[in-house]
Amino acid sequence: MKHSYKFTKNFYFIATVVFVVWMLFFDSNDFYSQYQLKAKVEELEDQKVYYEKKIEATEADREALLKDSELLEKFAREKYFMKKDGEDIFVVVEED
């Protein structure tokens, strides 16, 4: 027991314990901050995968629209309510 008591009175041991406690709990890079940053990185990586898939789908749609003029016309009519000259368009909006 006396041997461990002498060990805790050692200046280097006390300095090391204070340093470790400071780094674990009070430093700007403590455990909690690192955990938050890791969670944010994982969230951003998930978003990156999602947007890469959306880009691939959009590029495939773009290629299909550029190759097929009928599909392009259908897309323009449905999405942007475009019409031919002399044509009337009626938009039906459902109310809840």
Residue 86 lies in a domain: no
Residue 88 lies in a domain: no
Residue 94 lies in a domain: no
Residue 91 lies in a domain: no
Residue 15 lies in a domain: yes
pTM above 0.75, yes or no: no
Residue 87 lies in a domain: no
Residue 66 lies in a domain: yes
Residue 85 lies in a domain: no
**How many folded domains does the chain comprise?**
1
Q: Distance (Å, rounded) from C-alpha 30 to C-alpha 24?
A: 5
Give first-to-last CA distance, the chain, whole Å: 78
Q: Residue 23 belongs to what domain range?
A: 2-80
Per-residue pLDDT tens, the chain, 96 aa: give them.
556 667 677 888 889 999 988 888 888 888 888 899 999 999 999 999 999 999 999 999 899 989 998 888 888 888 887 787 888 878 788 998
